[in-house]
Structure 1
């Protein structure tokens, strides 16, 4: 039995929702990811993921999005429920590498690393707020 799910209601899908989160002042980065948080009033956390085309081809971008969504799904019990989260992959992280090295870096990126980064960023925002 799955403890946490990730239905469409827990996703940021519209441009208006993304803009509302981006208007918030709660923003931190760790070099790989940037997390922006905005308050919501729906009683549960929601996630939006943004991976620009400069991060690689569709295979690379989709892997990054899948890892981010799964990290969020598994971390829902550890994060404040009254926030929307926008996780953006930093293109500078991959631009420093050659194309083959960037692809390899994404391939070697594990769910545990993404989840640890996500939780660390959430904790940093909570401390700074």
Structure 2
């Protein structure tokens, strides 16, 4: 793994006040597997936060969902708009989608258009 694909501490949304600001002032988009809330952060990079609803009782499924979302952000952050705080919530109908589907959903929700390979 190169540093370009790392997930540094600066790229994590950690403070409760930051989550609250995104939920109160940000915009929402709903995709197949994700609900995305986002707001400008005034920084030169985007930050990711993951919020799970209380219904996630199975720790294995909960941790897998978080891991797949982090991986999608980490591997596609160079395609995402800069200067946003992103809070990703797995949809209630989460059925363990493929990592590629999560990344595509995240990019689509942010309006990033990828050119498909022939």
Return the TM-score normalized by structure 2.
Answer: 0.85
CA RMSD of aligned residues (A): 1.6
Partner of 1:47: 48
Asked if 2 retains the 8 angstrom alpha-carbon contact of 1:37 and 1:86, the reply is yes
Partner of 1:18: 19
The structure that is helix-richer by fraction is 1
Q: Which region of structure 1 is more displaced relative to structure 2, 65-74 or 8-17?
A: 8-17
Partner of 1:88: 89
Matched, 1:62 2:50: no
Q: Distance in 2 between matches of 1:46 and 1:37?
A: 10
Deviation at 1:56, TM superposition (A): 4.1
Deviation at 1:121, TM superposition (A): 0.7
Matched, 1:111 2:99: yes
Deviation at 1:5, TM superposition (A): 1.4
- Unaligned stretches of 5+ in structure 1? 95-104, 125-129
Closer, same or farther: CA 16–25 of 1 in aligned 2, 3 Å: closer
Deviation at 1:42, TM superposition (A): 1.9
SS in 2 for 1:74: helix
Q: Alignment length, in residue pairs?
A: 111
Return the TM-score normalized by structure 1.
Answer: 0.79
SS in 1 for 2:37: strand
